[in-house]
Amino acid sequence: MYRNLLILAFLTLSLSACKTPEARRPVQQKSGSFIKESAERNKKIFQKEEARITKLMKANPERDYIASESGFWYFYNIKDTTSVKMPEFGDEVTFTFDIKDLAGTTILSEDENGLQTYIVDQSNQELISGIRDGIKLMKEGEQVTFLFPSYKAFGYYGIEDKLGTNIPVQSTVTLKSIEEPKEN
């Protein structure tokens, strides 16, 4: 009898040990509302910034503003109509730029930034995405003023002690040179 009881206990333990593992469920489940709220908040921020930029463009009708496919606006200070070469993937460009708020107050001067060297779409250089995209629209020797909404500039982070969060900026960029990569 003791032997049968022992065999029965062993079989019961064996069968219950073969149970497949169950996935653990989260203690709390999120509905995804944070993402939706964040997207709505960002849309409202962009609409306000776009309205400010549009107001600035209407106040300066003498300038021929162009809307880029990347979500910013620009106009030429110096335009080269003879050259066709624009920066492409892997080209090394040298340029200068400044950063101003929409009222024209300098935040970062051209002297503070110095002469910049950038390898198009390959460098991890700390440039705002608007300037990285804007350079690809320029030709050597051109000077362009870009109007960037905050998401193309310094966004949520701003610049410590210089620029707050979610502030649109303008930047005048002068493209000094374009050099194609050297073949090995």
State the CATH number of the domain containing residue 46. Answer: 3.10.50.40
In a domain, 21, yes or no: no
**DSSP code string of 11-74:** HHHHHHHTPPPPPPPPSS---SHHHHHHHHHHHHHHHHHHHHHHHHHHH-TTS--EE-TTS-EE
Locate 147 and state its tokens: 């109007």
At 67 the pLDDT is 95
- 3-state SS record for 90-127: CCEEEEEECEEECCCCEEECHHHHCCEEEECCCCCCCC
Lowest-pLDDT range of 31-40, 131-140, 143-152:
31-40
The residue segments making up the domain with residue 160 are: 39-179
Whether pLDDT at 123 is above 90: no
At 84 the pLDDT is 84
Tell me the average pLDDT of the chain: 88
In a domain, 3, yes or no: no
Q: Band of the pLDDT at 17, cuts 50, 70, 90?
A: low
In a domain, 170, yes or no: yes
Whether pLDDT at 124 is above 90: no
Q: Band of the pLDDT at 162, cuts 50, 70, 90?
A: confident
142-164 exposure pattern, b = at least 16 Cβ within 10 A, e = fewer: bbbbbbbbbbbbbbeebeeeebe
Whether pLDDT at 184 is above 60: no
In a domain, 34, yes or no: no
In a domain, 10, yes or no: no
Whether pLDDT at 29 is above 70: no
For 69-120, the pLDDT digits (tens) are 999 999 999 998 888 889 999 999 999 999 999 999 999 999 999 999 999 9
Whether pLDDT at 133 is above 90: yes
At 30 the pLDDT is 64
Whether pLDDT at 49 is above 90: yes
The number of domains in the chain is 1
In a domain, 112, yes or no: yes
In a domain, 90, yes or no: yes
In a domain, 26, yes or no: no
